[in-house]
Structure 1
Amino acid sequence: METALTRLVGVTHPVVQTGMGWVAGPRLVTATARAGGLGILASATMSPDRLRAAVREVKERTDAPFGVNLRADAGDAGERADIIVKEGVRVASFALAPSRELIARLRDAGVVVIPSVGARRHAEKVAAWGVDAVLVQGGEGGGHTGAVATTVLLPQVVDAVDIPVIAAGGFRDGRGLVAALAHGAAGIAMGTRFLLTSDSTVPEPVKARYLAAGVQDVTVTTKVDGLPHRMLRSELVDALERSGRTRALARALRHAAAFRADSGMSWRAMVRDGLAMKHGHDLTWSQVLLAANTPMLLRAAMVDGRTDLGVMASGQVAGLIDDLPSVQDLIHAIMTEAADVLTNRLPTPDGCSA
């Protein structure tokens, strides 16, 4: 299936595996690339040296295109961009809008730039700055999310910009791909669906928690880092929502210290990134401090398997998933079902299925 996305990045199928922190490592990205999709490495939880090693590991395993997700507000974003360029990575994706200068720098080096957006005005802004495509996530998506559903947000953005639009939030199968294409998207991006594959390195007990969840078990809370964050409801999430301000800030300080030790960042670098985050999101200092919770709470679950000590970012679609296929089988099933829907299930002018 050829679309504007497959032509832009050189993949076989218009399916993107998103850059989930602690989840989207070399194994998952390699599996996605080999299956013909676009795999995205999550770099926010990696040091620059770890990122370089992860990129080289993927390149050793496959010559298919893949990407790296960057935090546009990180103080070392320029250094990470240099790694992408020097290592020949095809795509740079961003959770926030990169600067005009960074966009130009990457594009001049032949890198495809695809930021994520959650509003029409954001898409219009980055399109005017020269990005190659945008990934639009509706409120159903996992992690930091907005309040507008994909089915409302996607057509708004498609009508507003003349670059390829990738749809995210609520997708898991071929029917969803066809629906996104019908809205004008060039492909779909999925996080939770790729997390729940046999190629994902997330511990099996954690995957079991996702598989056991219903749609109503996925909630949005601001108690983790001060921003709306969609995740599985758990005993820890309930405890966080009951905790007071002083206790929450003390926990954030402990997590900031733990992340500094794990990432090798200096306190000065962490403060610098906090300032950038504060201005980029218009946050209070309390919200900036709370943001230190996110990396370590996610790591506790996604790496260490401690669902009692960590949080599990999740899209609402987790409530519809009940299996753990390989990435190869997942993408094959998506494309097979999409072809079947397009060929045999769409209504004809007389009202009957084709």
Structure 2
Amino acid sequence: MSDTAAIVTPLTTLVGVRHPIVQTGMGWVAGPRLVSAAANAGALGILASATMTVPQLRAAVREVKARTEAPFGVNLRADASDAADRVGVVVEEGVRVASFALAPSRELIARLKDAGVIVVPSVGARRHAEKVAAWGVDAVVVQGGEGGGHTGSVATTVLLPQVVDAVDIPVIAAGGFRDGRGLVAALAYGAAGVAMGTRFLLTSDSTVPDAVKARYLAAGVADITVTTKVDGLPHRMLRSELVDSLERSGRVTALLRAVRHASAFRRESGMSWAAMVRDGLAMKHGKDLTWSQVLLAANTPMLLKAAMVDGRTDLGVMASGQIAGLIDDLPSCAELVDRIMAEAQTTLKWLSALS
């Protein structure tokens, strides 16, 4: 355990972690090894479940519990057809936190809270934060446009104070964070902590193949782009030959590729076509998508898997926050969290000396 001085915030008090830092639930990346390493470092590790079957999720939760006694969470898809089953695993296994990429229903929130699980959805707009706060969630993660993966257009520095002023629950800032200075800046805006994806992906505890990590480390800020060609929604990722190809591809080519990827993901996940159609209906309604966009969404899991699991930077996409352009090393989670907290303390002392 680190002897770095703690910074107590509403997040650390709510969840019971030592430090106000969250490792986000990245598909194919945030598995038991990374999550337990983040948790043992004093951060809140979040297990990504969307690419797992329900039995795989239970096994992964149990593996994390075998590796750490610290609190951790599970990220869930609120619009998944088997969301209730996944919530059941979270409740039965005694997971501390349930996070959501989309707003969970009132019923799921109530079921989790009745079981003592802390509910923390991610939001990209003030109105979404206000809605879920009214439904009784315990905290929210607010991701600005700098964040990796599916993202919005409003910068963290604009979105974060909006949400902090609008709700009376802890707000966790995401999008553009990597160090102690960023943590102090988020706290100054009124956040209760920071959530980081790309920074934890680029650690020695991450299972992402070395060749893929090397592509991230070599990237500059200008090498990170936003495209809608993967799944019809704005998606921030590293620019690559594949992304350039997707940008040039026509509509018919994109839809045919999506059909192939939908079939591959069905085999990978063990889902039936009926279940995938139900998920597509839920996604279409929840995000107001066209059927073409729903079909394109089948691209995402398999293109991410090609890079994050198989190491094929030529065949996969590499979701990335803009902050990747400033990252140049691969510390362990323990080294990273200790460094962030030491930098935060140094920054706070510097600010104190100004007064």
State the TM-score, normalized to the length of structure 1: 0.98
Superposition pairs of residues 101-140 of structure 1, within 5 angstroms: 101-140=107-146
CA deviation profile, 1:72-102 (whole Å, cap 9, x unmatched): 0001000000000000000000000000111
Instruction: Work out the CA distance in 2 between the residues paired with 1:63 and 1:211.
Output: 32
CA deviation profile, 1:103-134 (whole Å, cap 9, x unmatched): 01100000000000000000000000000000
Instruction: Work out the CA distance in 2 between the residues paired with 1:33 and 1:89.
Output: 13
Instruction: Work out the CA distance in 1 between the residues paired with 2:237 and 2:129.
Output: 25
Instruction: Work out the CA distance in 1 between the residues paired with 2:107 and 2:86.
Output: 14
Aligned-pair identity in percent equals 82
Q: 2:87 aligns with which of 71, 74, 81?
A: 81
Question: Do structure 1's residue 232 and structure 2's residue 238 form an aligned pair?
Answer: yes
Partner of 2:169: 163
Superposition pairs of residues 241-256 of structure 1, within 5 angstroms: 241-256=247-262
Instruction: Work out the CA distance in 2 between the residues paired with 1:40 and 1:238.
Output: 31
Superposition pairs of residues 191-206 of structure 1, within 5 angstroms: 191-206=197-212
* Offset at residue 346 of structure 1 (A): 4.6
Partner of 2:30: 24
Instruction: Work out the CA distance in 2 between the residues paired with 1:279 and 1:56.
Output: 33
Instruction: Work out the CA distance in 1 between the residues paired with 2:188 and 2:311.
Output: 39
Question: Do structure 1's residue 72 and structure 2's residue 59 form an aligned pair?
Answer: no
Match for 2:281: what amino acid? Answer: L
Instruction: Work out the CA distance in 2 between the residues paired with 1:155 and 1:346.
Output: 22
Q: 2:150 aligns with which of 144, 151, 154?
A: 144
Instruction: Work out the CA distance in 1 between the residues paired with 2:73 and 2:169.
Output: 18
Question: Do structure 1's residue 183 and structure 2's residue 189 form an aligned pair?
Answer: yes
Question: Do structure 1's residue 59 and structure 2's residue 70 form an aligned pair?
Answer: no
* Offset at residue 344 of structure 1 (A): 2.5
Q: 2:96 aligns with which of 59, 83, 90?
A: 90
Instruction: Work out the CA distance in 2 between the residues paired with 1:345 and 1:276.
Output: 48
Instruction: Work out the CA distance in 2 between the residues paired with 1:79 and 1:19.
Output: 19
Instruction: Work out the CA distance in 2 between the residues paired with 1:166 and 1:175.
Output: 15
Q: 2:219 aligns with which of 198, 213, 223?
A: 213
Instruction: Work out the CA distance in 2 between the residues paired with 1:26 and 1:78.
Output: 22
Instruction: Work out the CA distance in 2 between the residues paired with 1:112 and 1:180.
Output: 22
Match for 1:38: what amino acid? Answer: L
Partner of 1:276: 282
Instruction: Work out the CA distance in 2 between the residues paired with 1:330 and 1:60.
Output: 22
Question: Which consecutive aligned stretches of 4+ in structure 1 deviate over 2 angstroms post-superposition?
Answer: 344-349
Aligned with 2:354: secondary structure?
A: coil
Question: Do structure 1's residue 43 and structure 2's residue 49 form an aligned pair?
Answer: yes
Instruction: Work out the CA distance in 2 between the residues paired with 1:204 and 1:22.
Output: 15
* Offset at residue 343 of structure 1 (A): 1.2
Question: Do structure 1's residue 301 and structure 2's residue 307 form an aligned pair?
Answer: yes
Match for 1:19: what amino acid? Answer: G
Give the RMSD, CA atoms, in angstroms. 0.6
* Offset at residue 348 of structure 1 (A): 2.5
Question: Do structure 1's residue 317 and structure 2's residue 323 form an aligned pair?
Answer: yes
Match for 2:66: what amino acid? Answer: E
Partner of 2:9: 3
Instruction: Work out the CA distance in 1 between the residues paired with 2:9 and 2:83.
Output: 30
Partner of 1:343: 349
The 10-residue stretch of structure 1 (55-64 or 339-348) with the greater mean CA deviation from structure 2 = 339-348
The aligned length equals 349
Instruction: Work out the CA distance in 1 between the residues paired with 2:177 and 2:67.
Output: 27
Match for 2:239: what amino acid? Answer: R
Aligned with 1:84: secondary structure?
A: helix
Instruction: Work out the CA distance in 2 between the residues paired with 1:70 and 1:134.
Output: 14
Partner of 2:3: none
Structure 2, gaps ≥5 residues long: 1-6
Instruction: Work out the CA distance in 2 between the residues paired with 1:231 and 1:38.
Output: 24
State the TM-score, normalized to the length of structure 2: 0.98
The 10-residue stretch of structure 1 (340-349 or 7-16) with the greater mean CA deviation from structure 2 = 340-349
* Offset at residue 347 of structure 1 (A): 5.4
Instruction: Work out the CA distance in 2 between the residues paired with 1:32 and 1:317.
Output: 19
Match for 1:215: what amino acid? Answer: V
Aligned with 2:145: secondary structure?
A: coil
